[in-house]
Amino acid sequence: MERIRNFINNEFVEPVGQSYLDNVDPAVGHVYSQVPDSDTEDVNRAVSAASAAFASWSHTPADERCRIMLKLADLLENDIERFARAECVDNGKPLSLARSLDIPRAVKNVRFFASSVLHFHGESHATDDVAINYTLRQPRGVAGIISPWNLPLYLFTWKIAPALATGNTVVAKPSEVTPMTAYMFAELCQKAGLPPGVLNIVHGQGPKAGAALVAHPDVPTISFTGSTRAGGEIASATAPMFKKLALEMGGKNANIVFADADLAAAVDGSVRAAFANQGQVCLCGSRLFVERSVCDKFTEAFVAKAREQTVGDPLEADTKQGAVVSKQHLEKIRYHVDLAREEGGTILCGGEAVANVSERCKDGFFFAPTVIAGLDMNCRTNNEEIFGAVVSIIPFDDEEQVIAQANQTNYGLSASVWTGSVSRAHRLAERLQCGTVWINCWLLRDLRVPFGGMKSSGVGREGGEETLRFYTEPKNVCVKL
Ligand code: NAD
Q: What CA–CA distance (Å, rounded) separates 39 from 19? A: 9
Active-site residue, from 66, 88, 189, 282: 282
Percent of the chain with pLDDT over 70: 100
Average pLDDT rounded to a whole number, residues 424-432: 98
> Would you kindly state where each structural domain of the chain is located, as residue ranges?
2-249+457-480, 254-446
Pocket residues: Cβ below 6 A from ligand 1: 146-150, 155, 173, 175-176, 205-207, 210-211, 214, 225-227, 230, 233-234, 248-251, 282, 385, 387, 413, 453, 457-458
**Model confidence pLDDT, tens digit, residues 356-410:** 899 999 999 999 999 999 999 999 999 999 999 999 999 999 999 999 999 999 9
Q: Are 176 and 203 in contact, with CB atoms under 8 Å apart? A: yes
Beta-strand relationship, 458-459 and 472-480: unpaired
pTM of the model: 0.97
Residue type, 447: L
Question: How far does the centroid of ligand 1 lie from the alpha carbon of residue 451, in Å?
Answer: 17
Same-fold call for 2-249+457-480 versus 254-446: no
Residue minimizing CA distance to atom 26 of ligand 1: 148
User: What pLDDT is recorded for position 356?
Assistant: 86
Measure the N-to-C terminal CA separation of the chain; round to a whole number of Å.
Answer: 68
In words, the CATH class of domain 254-446 is alpha beta
User: What pLDDT is recorded for position 379?
Assistant: 98
Q: What CA–CA distance (Å, rounded) separates 190 from 181? A: 15
Q: What CA–CA distance (Å, rounded) separates 365 from 363? A: 7
**Model confidence pLDDT, tens digit, residues 114-155:** 999 999 999 999 999 999 999 999 999 999 999 999 999 999
Question: How far does the centroid of ligand 1 lie from the alpha carbon of residue 203, in Å?
Answer: 14
Q: Is the pLDDT of residue 12 over 90?
A: yes
Active-site residue, from 87, 176, 248, 462: 248
282 given a catalytic annotation: yes
Give the pLDDT band (50/70/90) at residue 65.
very high
Question: How far does the centroid of ligand 1 lie from the alpha carbon of residue 111, in Å?
Answer: 25
Residue minimizing CA distance to atom 14 of ligand 1: 206
The overall average pLDDT reported for the chain is 98
Average pLDDT rounded to a whole number, residues 194-205: 98
Ligand 1 pocket: which of 219, 227, 278 to mutate (most atoms within 8 A of CB) = 227
Q: Is the pLDDT of residue 167 over 90?
A: yes
- State how far the alpha carbon of 93 is from the alpha carbons of 203, 270, 319, 347, 383, in Å: 21, 19, 9, 24, 26
Q: Are 181 and 83 in contact, with CB atoms under 8 Å apart? A: yes
248 given a catalytic annotation: yes
DSSP annotation of 241 reads G
CATH superfamily ID and name for 2-249+457-480: Aldehyde Dehydrogenase; Chain A, domain 1 (3.40.605.10)
Alpha helices, H only, 79-168: 80-91, 95-97, 103-116, 152-165
Q: What CA–CA distance (Å, rounded) separates 445 from 438? A: 10
Q: Are 271 and 306 in contact, with CB atoms under 8 Å apart? A: yes
Residue minimizing CA distance to atom 34 of ligand 1: 250
The alpha carbon dihedral of 126, 127, 129, 132 has a sign of negative
Q: Is the pLDDT of residue 278 over 90?
A: yes
Question: How far does the centroid of ligand 1 lie from the alpha carbon of residue 287, in Å?
Answer: 21
User: What pLDDT is recorded for position 469?
Assistant: 96
**Model confidence pLDDT, tens digit, residues 29-60:** 999 999 999 999 999 999 999 999 999 999 99
Return the percent helix, strand and coil in the chain, to nearest 5.
40, 25, 35
Q: Are 470 and 426 in contact, with CB atoms under 8 Å apart? A: no
Question: How far does the centroid of ligand 1 lie from the alpha carbon of residue 56, in Å?
Answer: 32
DSSP bridge partners of 462: 451
Burial (CB count within 10 angstroms: exposed 0-12, middle 13-18, buried 19+), residue 422:
exposed
Burial (CB count within 10 angstroms: exposed 0-12, middle 13-18, buried 19+), residue 480:
exposed
